[in-house]
Structure 1
Amino acid sequence: MDLQLAGKTAVVTGGSKGIGLALVRTLLAEGMRVVTGSRSITAELKETEAVPVAVDLSTVSGPVRLIDSAVMELGGIDLLVNNVGVGDTDDFSKGVRLNLLELPDDAWEDTFNLHFYSALRASRAALPHLIERRGTIINVSSVGARAAGAGPANYNVAKSALSSLTKVIAEQFGAQGVRAITVSPGPVGTGVWTDPDGFVGRLAKEQDVPHKAFVEQLVSASGVTTGRIAAPEEVARLIAFLASPVNITGNEYLIDGGMIKHV
């Protein structure tokens, strides 16, 4: 199926690995020109034809610098995907282990800077260019935004705010041709789940359970109907479809293997 993306331009945050890297590859395969921003530029990213920008998106100036670099490189922006997330595994783990009385303000601030404010700042910087081209913003949230009792509380709340931001953008700029959509993955086969030194791998070691068995336990306990975690490429394909010319805006799309049960 021709997604009619060839010749268009995209900015992807957090494109050095995981979902972001899979998305960069998918958009390039669809004929798009891609600029991506991340703290590090991995060997895998260098192998693609994307233009990498080394930038800390959790800072005030980082997202603006990325968008400015993208406009200089691409001449304009048709698609912005706010994907950057998780960050340091220790910070992520802290949000799981500590409750509201224990989790300090700086943990909340760091999490919101990376997961919410980076998207807000990138969106504000990109919107004039997206209005000009009647473009699209896709925010990568998480099923955690709907699961208050599981996962890092600060991460889940930040992702909930990100999902709400999507609605605001869709309503305020829809009449000017800009679409905004949320994609919320459940468990995905990124380093968080697959790396022995990642978040899930560390939990497995702490509980003295083999990594693979621990992943299976978590997936089962989470109620994932398909019984498996998603591949980053599956999330990337969904995002690419939503980036194509379809009359969809303001919506949230779950890709969670049936984890979220309520209507």
Structure 2
Amino acid sequence: MDLELTRRRVIVTGAGTGIGRVTAEAFAAEGGHVAALDIDETALGELSTGTGSIVPVTADLSTEDGCREAAAAAIDDLGGVDVLVNNVGAGAVRTFDELTDADWQRTMDLNFMSYVRMSRSCLPQLRRSEGTSIINNASDLGRQPEAVPMDYSASKAAVLAVTKGLARAEGPKIRVNAVAPGPIWTPFWTKPGGFADTMAEFHNMPPEQAVEHEMSLRQLPMGRLGTPEEVAKVIVFLASPAAGFVTGSVWGVDGGSVRGLL
């Protein structure tokens, strides 16, 4: 199926690893021209371009200046922007009592305010193009919070609220949607100090056993963690003309973790 994304100009944040990396490569494989933003310059240098192109942009998106400068550099490299994928994020398993004000601020700056700041910086260019869209990477925890990590859940719930609001504010010119992944096996989980390690501390188990225990508690119908490719395919679809009547939506790629109707 031709998704008609050839030569589309795409910005992907947090593109060095995990879902962001696979998403950037998926757009390039469709013939898109991608600006890949990440704080890890080495990881950006390892991206595969496919039939399109990928321009690496090293940036710290946890700050206002970092977002503004990265967006300007990406737009300059691409000659504009047609699709913005807000994906960058981080999290750790900490109880409510363990979370300090500084922890909350760091989480919100990267997981939520980077989305606000990148969208603000890109909207003037998006409004000048046709068939433009924003896709925000949220989480099943934004719709169905668990006891931990509460700061992460709150940041993702805020992402969903902005997704809905921007869809109304920018329609019909710009479509704005979100994906809400469940547990996805990426470096977000596997890196030192990532979800698996902090979950191991929380459950007092080895990392792999702690992850399996957590999945059993969540009672996933699919019985496994997802893959970055499974999320990236939905993001690319939402950016394409095939999703031309889709806006203000939240697409769960969660293995059935969310049990509510909404």
Superposition TM-score, scaled by structure 2 size: 0.91
Structure 1 segment 80-229 matched on structure 2, within 5 A:
80-86=84-90, 92-93=92-93, 96-99=94-97, 102-134=98-130, 135-175=132-172, 177-195=173-191, 197-204=193-200, 207=203, 209-229=205-225
Is 1:257 matched with 2:255?
Answer: yes
Residues 113-167 of structure 1: CA distance to partner in whole angstroms, max 9, x if unpaired? 1011101010011011111113100000011112233331111111111111011
Identity of aligned residues (%): 39
Is 1:62 matched with 2:66?
Answer: yes
Is 1:234 matched with 2:227?
Answer: no
Which 4+ runs in 1 deviate beyond 4 A? Answer: 205-208
| Mapped contact 1:13–1:83 kept (Cα < 8 A) | yes
Unaligned runs of 5+ in 1: none
Match of 2:19 in 1: 19
- The one-letter code matched in structure 2 to 1:97 is T
| Mapped contact 1:18–1:190 kept (Cα < 8 A) | yes
Change beyond 3 A, Cα 1:23–1:45 = farther
Q: CA deviation at 1:217?
A: 1.7
Aligned mates of 1:256, 1:206 — CA distance in 2: 22
Aligned mates of 2:40, 2:89 — CA distance in 1: 13
Match of 2:40 in 1: 40
- The one-letter code matched in structure 2 to 1:253 is W
Q: CA deviation at 1:232?
A: 0.4
Q: CA deviation at 1:105?
A: 1.6
Residues 83-130 of structure 1: CA distance to partner in whole angstroms, max 9, x if unpaired? 00016xxxx23xx2233xx53221111111101110101001101111
Is 1:76 matched with 2:72?
Answer: no
Change beyond 3 A, Cα 1:65–1:2 = same
| Mapped contact 1:17–1:42 kept (Cα < 8 A) | no
Matched pairs, number: 254
Residues 162-203 of structure 1: CA distance to partner in whole angstroms, max 9, x if unpaired? 11101111101103x100001000000112333465321343
Q: CA deviation at 1:65?
A: 1.1
Unaligned runs of 5+ in 2: none
Is 1:9 matched with 2:15?
Answer: no
Q: CA deviation at 1:218?
A: 1.3
- 3-state SS in 1 of match to 2:151: helix
- 3-state SS in 1 of match to 2:41: coil
Aligned mates of 1:223, 1:103 — CA distance in 2: 27
Is 1:52 matched with 2:49?
Answer: no
Aligned mates of 2:204, 2:147 — CA distance in 1: 21
Aligned mates of 1:113, 1:208 — CA distance in 2: 30
Q: CA deviation at 1:52?
A: 1.1
- 3-state SS in 2 of match to 1:42: helix
| Mapped contact 2:95–2:150 kept (Cα < 8 A) | no
Q: Tell which deviates more after alignment, 117-126 or 42-51.
A: 42-51
| Mapped contact 1:193–1:215 kept (Cα < 8 A) | no
Aligned mates of 1:257, 1:149 — CA distance in 2: 16
- 3-state SS in 1 of match to 2:171: helix
Residues 19-77 of structure 1: CA distance to partner in whole angstroms, max 9, x if unpaired? 00010111110100100111112346434332111111010111111111111111110
- The one-letter code matched in structure 1 to 2:158 is A
Among candidates 243, 246, 249, match of residue 248 of structure 1:
246
